[in-house]
Structure 1
Amino acid sequence: MGISGEDTESSRLLTTTSTGSPCKIPKDSYHFAYIIYFTLGAGFLLPWNAFITAVDYFSYLYPDVSVDRIFAVVYMVVALFCLLLIIAYTHKSDAFVRINIGMAIFIVGLLVVPIMDVVYIKGQTGLYSGFYVTVAAVGLSGLGDALVQGGVIGSAGEMPERYMQAVVAGTAASGVLVSFLRIFTKAVFSQDTQGLRRSAILYFSVSIVVMAVCIVFYNVAHRLPVIKYYRNLKAQAVNEEKEEKGSLTAAVWGATLWDILGRVKWYGFGILLIYVVTLSIFPGYITEDVHSKVLKDWYPILLIAGYNVFDLVGKSLTAVYLLENAKIAISACIARLLFYPLFLVCLHGPEFFRTEIPVTVLTCLLGLTNGYLTSVLMILAPKAVQLQHAETAGIVIVLFLVVGLAIGSIVAWFWVI
């Protein structure tokens, strides 16, 4: 059964929280709250996308290090550690504060590269002190990601499904934006020192502007009647739980966390599996293993753009039809393991399968299934717990996602198709 509209979703929330007779639900005028959550979803992935999209620039400056792999390890480890701390202390911290701090940290991390390029590096190679500063900026962005992504997905989990769908679709839009920026810079800028510098500065400048917009949007969001309404619902649910169970001690919170984990573990397993499969194939396979005599070095760029566009399509489809059967969704995540033999055939199979069309079709299907199934599980998981614990459930799901990204990145190193 698909999503049947905001009022129906809201009534479902009211029923599950037992807050008494439902009052009139404020409308999301001009879909402004939806747009805000969409923008936030795009924003918290842009810093990471900026660093990995500018990898040509960093590889030119620091030719003796594996830049992309070091960036991935630092970013993932920092994000993972910080998410564990956030989950442990969610009940003692406020999402509003975490998200604002995280976005401020993002801006600081993003400013490092363009400022250092202009003031210190100036296109010179081998200045490895600059590399260490850049790695520190990547680590800062990992911290910002944990604070912002965990907070945004957690807060979206407390609201009707359409807002989680907005966040997830925003993350896909971030990839599409970066892909088009990559196509633009390759078409317009030369691939020499000055061209690489201009490309990198463009990536980071766009990310800084979007992050500034996110800060404004997020702080405006708290004044919207529709968001205030759902915050009040959560506050009522929290107060009811306090009256029923008493104050939230460390022991009680520990038991609550285990209960939340038990309720969302299969959703988390599905998310983890999605990103193990995706990251072990994309983008490494796309950028290193397949080649085209016709498209040459444009081939991987266009394949990545195709993946990102279809990822956005998949994450947008849940606004039209939401698969509410979690068992089917998780089974579909397991079925995505079939992408391994299919991509293997595209390298070592009959000649036709080694041409551009089969590879392009499979890459787009990889993006489409990644997008749709991610959106489905992200939407369903927070609804498996009581409203007052939806934020924590959302952060736990983000933890599974980051673990999946980390495992997928590691598998990509060792899995030679």
Structure 2
Amino acid sequence: MEISQKIGSSSEDEPTECNVLLASSEHGVSSVKHPIVPDRETNLGDIPEDRFYGVYFIFLFLGMASLLPWNFFITAKSYFQFKLRNTSIPASEFNDPDEETNLQILFESYLATSSTITNLTCVFLTAIFVRKIPLKVRMIASLCLVICLFGLTSVLVKLDSNNWQKTFFIVTIASAAVINGGTAILTGSIFGFSCRFPRSYTQACMMGQAIGGTFAAVAGILALAGGSSVIDSAFGYFLTATVISVVSLLAYILLYYLPFSKYHMTEVVSGVKSINNDESHTVPQGHCEFYGEIIKQIWKQGVCVCIVFTITLACFPAVSASIRSVTYVKGDSWTDKYFTPVICFLLFNLGDWVGRTATSWISLPSDRHSYIMLLLCCLRVAFIPLLMFCNAEPRSHLNVVFDHDAWPITFILLLGLTNGYFGTRVMIYAPQRVTWGQAEAAGVIMAFMLTLGLALGSGLSFLIVKLL
């Protein structure tokens, strides 16, 4: 029995010998001319078993590690506000809007802009050079970079920066940008790498990202409940991210020693088997021809994933995090302290996690109905006005239409569910439409389209907030 069957894939989703379905009219991919594994010297009976689902859980963990850094930067908002506060007032009043400094005002926009630029640039370069730079080099270099800079960020937490706030601001923005660039390379490489395996392993990467978001949301709530200081909480966030990055590096290296992963990492080049490294990227096909052929097969899936994450980032967290309870009372335990962390961050991430998990047993619409999938992804644009007409503050142009807390709870949960389900579904479908030799590049291209959606959605969120 194949590993994807054990993990819960449906009969329609059963993988072939390597990751993806052969061309068949049943799945609407008759334009694929070659089997995915044309030269494999072994047959299905020779595939090693993924013992104890070890490789599956490594991909799950790598997916979590790829998104956890950004989630911790968002969760540590109070810490950055504290570090950049007006030092002439009591430290306990660092969140007073009347005493807000320019650095506090500018921090989030600079963080979002710099991180988006490096994220998009690095994942684009990963897509371009996927055949030139070996996977092992990309993965190890990006993880080492993230580990070093998170270590630096953890050290900065404990330093008194009151007398050099501008330097702290610049160093933090620069390190966050580089960290996000490193995680972008990591994300693109992970998705490309997972496409060499049965489809359930791409799903594992997507689920890992949702778990990372949920983990960060729970950590933030527990920090509030425990009454931890902003410094201690931030140190815990960044130290945790550093440790997880170190473990991710060790877990990735372990893949080169496990029989199941070694089997799927092995290519046949000119009749000689080789593990994915420099020689395995030597493909005689030109760049334009190579990428053009892939894009021709997966453009609909790429557009779908871009639309899904554009709409999600347009709403979350910019609009959804600004929604207040209609019964808001300043200082109240629920409406003032826990409403946003629970309803916005935790509820969305739980919905996202459930949506991604649901792709294990639901595969509708199928890949042959790709235009229906595209339509469904576009219909998610309705979440933007729905959330705008909730009790989001501050607002000066629109009236509140949905004046009960049940509305934002419903909308945010559905936003997470549909984001997780549709995003994962199209990420799984894309590599099925290309040959095995193109699968890694197809995965990286899909990761680029996902990142492009994040960038477009982040930019759109600024306009939406202004329209409230």
What is the TM-score when the length of structure 1 is the normalising length?
Answer: 0.90
**Unmatched 5+ residue regions in structure 1?**
240-246
1:283 paired with 2:320, answer no
**Within 2, Cα distance between the matches of 1:338 and 1:349?**
17
Task: Judge conservation of contact 1:189–1:198 (CA < 8 Å) in 2.
Answer: no
1:173 paired with 2:211, answer yes
Letter in 1 for 2:299: K
- CA pair 344-140 structure 1, distance change in 2 beyond 3 A: closer
1:382 paired with 2:431, answer yes
**Within 2, Cα distance between the matches of 1:310 and 1:7?**
25
**Within 2, Cα distance between the matches of 1:299 and 1:36?**
34
User: How many angstroms does 1:336 deviate by?
Assistant: 0.5
Higher mean C-alpha displacement, 202-211 vs 256-265? 256-265
Identity of aligned residues (%): 25
Higher mean C-alpha displacement, 319-328 vs 98-107? 319-328
**Within 2, Cα distance between the matches of 1:7 and 1:278?**
30
Matches within 5 A, 1:161-240: 161-190=199-228, 195-233=229-267
After the TM superposition, list the runs of 4 or more consecutive aligned residues in structure 1 that deviate by more than 4 angstroms.
Answer: 5-8, 11-15, 233-239, 347-351
**Within 1, Cα distance between the matches of 2:166 and 2:350?**
36
Q: Which residue of 2 aligns with 1:330?
A: 374
**Within 2, Cα distance between the matches of 1:78 and 1:256?**
25
- Of 366, 369, 384 in structure 2, the residue corresponding to residue 340 of structure 1 is 384
**Within 2, Cα distance between the matches of 1:7 and 1:371?**
21
- Of 145, 154, 164 in structure 2, the residue corresponding to residue 114 of structure 1 is 154
2:243 aligns to what SS in structure 1?
A: helix
Q: Which residue of 1 aligns with 2:111?
A: 71
Higher mean C-alpha displacement, 139-148 vs 158-167? 139-148
1:90 aligns to what SS in structure 2?
A: coil
- Of 29, 45, 59 in structure 1, the residue corresponding to residue 81 of structure 2 is 59
User: How many angstroms does 1:404 deviate by?
Assistant: 0.9
2:361 aligns to what SS in structure 1?
A: coil
Per-residue CA deviation, residues 59-86 of structure 1 (Å, 9 max, x unaligned), is 2222423222211111111121122222
Letter in 2 for 1:273: I
1:27 paired with 2:49, answer yes
User: How many angstroms does 1:215 deviate by?
Assistant: 1.0
**Within 2, Cα distance between the matches of 1:146 and 1:359?**
31
**Within 2, Cα distance between the matches of 1:255 and 1:373?**
29
Letter in 1 for 2:407: P
User: How many angstroms does 1:210 deviate by?
Assistant: 1.1
Q: Which residue of 1 aligns with 2:37?
A: 17
Higher mean C-alpha displacement, 208-217 vs 365-374? 208-217
Letter in 1 for 2:355: G
Per-residue CA deviation, residues 283-328 of structure 1 (Å, 9 max, x unaligned), is 1112224334252231111111000011000111112223333333
User: How many angstroms does 1:31 deviate by?
Assistant: 0.5
Q: Which has the higher helix share?
A: 1
**Within 1, Cα distance between the matches of 2:421 and 2:385?**
22
1:159 aligns to what SS in structure 2?
A: coil
- Of 91, 112, 127 in structure 2, the residue corresponding to residue 87 of structure 1 is 127
**Within 2, Cα distance between the matches of 1:189 and 1:407?**
36
Task: Judge conservation of contact 1:2–1:322 (CA < 8 Å) in 2.
Answer: no
**Within 2, Cα distance between the matches of 1:409 and 1:355?**
27
Q: Which residue of 1 aligns with 2:444?
A: 395
Task: Judge conservation of contact 1:275–1:404 (CA < 8 Å) in 2.
Answer: yes
**Within 2, Cα distance between the matches of 1:283 and 1:308?**
11
**Within 2, Cα distance between the matches of 1:296 and 1:338?**
28
User: How many equivalent residue pairs?
Assistant: 403
User: How many angstroms does 1:27 deviate by?
Assistant: 1.1
Q: Which residue of 2 aligns with 1:321?
A: 362
1:3 paired with 2:13, answer no
RMSD across aligned C-alpha pairs, in angstroms? 2.5
Per-residue CA deviation, residues 23-69 of structure 1 (Å, 9 max, x unaligned), is 41111110001000000000011111121211211122224232222
User: How many angstroms does 1:6 deviate by?
Assistant: 8.7
Letter in 2 for 1:299: F
User: How many angstroms does 1:232 deviate by?
Assistant: 2.0
Per-residue CA deviation, residues 352-385 of structure 1 (Å, 9 max, x unaligned), is x321111101100000000011110111112221
- Of 299, 311, 315 in structure 1, the residue corresponding to residue 339 of structure 2 is 299
Q: Which residue of 1 aligns with 2:92?
A: none
Letter in 2 for 1:22: N
From the CA coordinates, give the structure whose radius of gyration is larger: 2
Letter in 2 for 1:3: S
User: How many angstroms does 1:126 deviate by?
Assistant: 6.0
**Within 2, Cα distance between the matches of 1:144 and 1:305?**
26
Q: Which residue of 1 aligns with 2:307?
A: 273
**Within 2, Cα distance between the matches of 1:341 and 1:413?**
14
1:43 paired with 2:65, answer yes
Letter in 1 for 2:450: L
**Within 2, Cα distance between the matches of 1:236 and 1:330?**
39
Per-residue CA deviation, residues 154-203 of structure 1 (Å, 9 max, x unaligned), is 0001111110000000000000000000001111125xxxx111111111
Task: Judge conservation of contact 1:55–1:67 (CA < 8 Å) in 2.
Answer: no
2:152 aligns to what SS in structure 1?
A: helix
